[in-house]
Amino acid sequence: MQILGKQRYFKRYEYARRRCDLIEILNIRKYVHAFCQNVRYFHSGQIYEFREQIKKMMQCLMKVYAKELKSIKQSNSFRQLYTSTRLFSNQISQNGATIETNELAELMKPDHPENERLVIFNGTLIRRDYVPKEDHAKERIPGSLWFDFKTFCEQNTTLSYMMPTDEYFSGIMKSMDVRKSDLIVVYDKYRMISAPRAFWMLKTFGVKDVFLLNGTFAKWQREGRPIEKGDSESAWKKIHTIAAKPDDYNYKKDITKIRKFEEIDSIVSENMQKPEELQQPLLDSRVHKYYLRGHIPTSRSLALDEVMDKDFCYLKKDDMVKIIQSKGIKDPSKDKIILTCQRGITACIVDAAFKSIGNENTSVYDGSFEEYAKIKGIEVHKE
C-alpha cells in the first residue's frame, strides 16, 4: 500500500511516543484524521487500513496515558492547539478568495496534509517593459508555475484574453499536470492586476479550492520568505507523486459566470428604461479616469484601487461592504452583479472582492469595454 505521507506520520508518532510528548501525539492524531478525510486519490479500503493502523496505535496510548490525556483535553492549551492547527480546508469558508502569506508558507511545508495537492501559479501578465516568462524563470515563489495568459485564452479571435474552450483549457492543464482536485494559489508579481483573472478562470472552470495570495509576491518577498531562482522543470509543470483520477483534467466552464455581448446589450436596454435603484448593477473596475473617458451605458464605477489597500491586500469585510454599498449595491454579499473593465482582466479584481465577502452571484463580461465599444461604436456613453 502506498499512501502519501503514511511513513511520515508514523515516524512523527514514534518520535513523540518515545519522548512521551502527549500534545504532539494528539496533534498527529488530529492531522491523520484530517488527512484521511481529505485524501481523494486512493480506494476507500486503503484509507480504512491506514486509519485503522493509526487508531490501534492511539488506543494503546490512551490506555497508558489515560489520566494525562484527560487533563490535557481539559486544558486551555489543548483547546488553543486544536484551534490553531485546524486544517486549511476548514478555513476557506472564512474567505472565498484570498490566502495570507503565512498560510501559504504553512501549506508549503512537506509534512502539511494538503502539500501534495498544492499548486502555486505566478499569474503575472505581460507588459511592454516586462516579459513575465523570463522573470518567472529568474525568481519566483518555490515550486510555482507560470500562468501564460497568451496560452490560456481563445486563439481564434481578435479580442484580448477571451476564455478558451473546455477542451483547449483541459489540454493545457493536463500538460502541466494541474488537476481540478488540486488546491491552487495564484500570485502576482506586478501589483494585483492579472492574478485575479487567473483566479476567476480557474474557479469558472471548476476548481473549488483556488485562492489569491493577499499582498502578492511583493509582500512574500518583503517578509523574507523563500525565493526560488533559476530555470527548472518544476517552474513549468507540477510534479505529482500520485496518479490522477479519470476526471482530474475534465475542466468545464460554468457559463453563468461569463457574460456575452448580446446579454449586456439587452441588459443595458432594459436598465435605461428603469430608475437606477431598479437596474441590474453593472460595475466597471477600471481606474476612474478611464471610466470617465468612455464606459458602457448604465454602468457604475467601482475602481480596482478602491477594493485594496496600498500594499495590494484586499480590504477587510466591513470596509469592503461599505465601499460597495456606496456604489448603490443594496446587499453586497448576495446581489447579482455583472463586472466589466477594458479587456476582462481587472474586472476579476472586483469579482474577487465580492467573493471575499461571500458573494458568489457575480459574473464577468468577458469581452468588456473593448468588445462593446468595437460593436456599438459611437453609441458608447461618454462623459
Cβ atoms of 95 and 199 closer than 8 Å: no
Q: What are phi and psi of 121, to 5 degrees?
A: -115, 135
Quick: pLDDT tens for 10-21. 666 565 555 555
Residue 194 lies in a domain: yes
Residue 228 lies in a domain: yes
The residue with cell 475602481 is 303
Averaged over successive runs of 10 residues, the pLDDT of the chain (383 residues) comes to 50 58 60 54 51 62 56 46 39 68 92 88 79 82 90 85 93 93 92 93 94 94 92 80 86 96 96 94 94 92 94 93 95 95 94 94 95 78 51
CATH number for the domain that contains residue 115: 3.40.250.10
Residue 28 CA to residue 34 CA, distance in Å, equals: 10
How many domains does the chain fold into? 3
pLDDT attached to residue 1? 32
pLDDT attached to residue 93? 38
Q: Which residues of 220-241 are buried (b: 16+ CB within 10 A; e: fewer)?
A: bbeeebeeeeeeeeebeebebe
pLDDT attached to residue 243? 83
Answer yes or no: do 137 and 233 share one domain: yes
Answer yes or no: do 55 and 99 share one domain: no
Strand partners, 130: 127
Query: Other CB atoms closer than 10 Å to residue 81's CB: what's the count?
Result: 17
Residue 326 lies in a domain: yes
Answer yes or no: do 147 and 127 share one domain: yes
Who's near 166: CB < 8 A, 6+ residues apart? 205, 251, 252, 253
User: Structure pTM?
Assistant: 0.75
Residue 271 CA to residue 280 CA, distance in Å, equals: 7
Who's near 171: CB < 8 A, 6+ residues apart? 249
pLDDT attached to residue 46? 54
Query: Cα angle vertex 67, ends 61, 69, to 5°?
Result: 55
Quick: pLDDT tens for 268-320. 999 999 999 999 999 999 999 899 889 999 999 999 999 999 999 999 999 99
pLDDT attached to residue 241? 77
pLDDT attached to residue 98? 92
Answer yes or no: do 48 and 189 share one domain: no
Four-residue CA torsion sign, 305, 309, 311, 314:
negative
Residue 322 CA to residue 61 CA, distance in Å, equals: 53
Answer yes or no: do 118 and 241 share one domain: yes
Residue 65 CA to residue 243 CA, distance in Å, equals: 40
The residue with cell 462593446 is 372
pLDDT attached to residue 24? 60
Phi-psi category of residue 368: left, alpha or beta, with phi > 0 → left and psi -120 to 50 → alpha: left
Answer yes or no: do 70 and 131 share one domain: no
Using alpha carbons, select from 345, 310, 374, 371 the residue that is nearest to residue 126: 345
Quote the domain boundaries for residue 186: 92-253
Answer yes or no: do 260 and 373 share one domain: yes
Answer yes or no: do 151 and 48 share one domain: no
Kindly give the pairing relationship between strand 228-229 and strand 139-140: antiparallel
Q: What are phi and psi of 233, to 5 degrees?
A: -60, -35
Cβ atoms of 121 and 199 closer than 8 Å: no
Answer yes or no: do 122 and 215 share one domain: yes
Residue 313 lies in a domain: yes
Answer yes or no: do 56 and 74 share one domain: yes
pLDDT attached to residue 16? 57
pLDDT attached to residue 153? 85
Residue type, position 298, single letter: T
Answer yes or no: do 149 and 227 share one domain: yes
Cβ atoms of 368 and 291 closer than 8 Å: no
Residue 1 lies in a domain: no
Who's near 367: CB < 8 A, 6+ residues apart? 159, 162, 260, 261, 344
3 state SS of 358: coil
Answer yes or no: do 369 and 289 share one domain: yes
